[in-house]
Amino acid sequence: MIVFNALAALLAVAALVYLGIALTRPEKF
């Protein structure tokens, strides 16, 4: 399903961005 794949990709990107921010700016978490 294209919709499911798109949602999974968005979640993966969001998780990577969140991890990147958490690693580079730990004082905010």
Which has the higher per-residue pLDDT, 28 or 1?
Answer: 1
End-to-end Cα spacing for the chain = 35
Residue 17's φ and ψ, nearest 5 degrees, are -65, -45
* Token code pair at residue 12: 């993966």
pLDDT score for 26 = 74
Q: How far is CA 12 from CA 7, 15, 16, 28, 29, in A?
A: 9, 5, 6, 21, 20
pLDDT score for 2 = 92
pLDDT score for 28 = 66
pLDDT score for 23 = 92
| Digit-coded pLDDT (tens) for 11-29 | 999 999 999 999 998 776 6
Rounded to whole angstroms, how far apart are CA atoms 4 and 20? 24
pLDDT score for 29 = 60
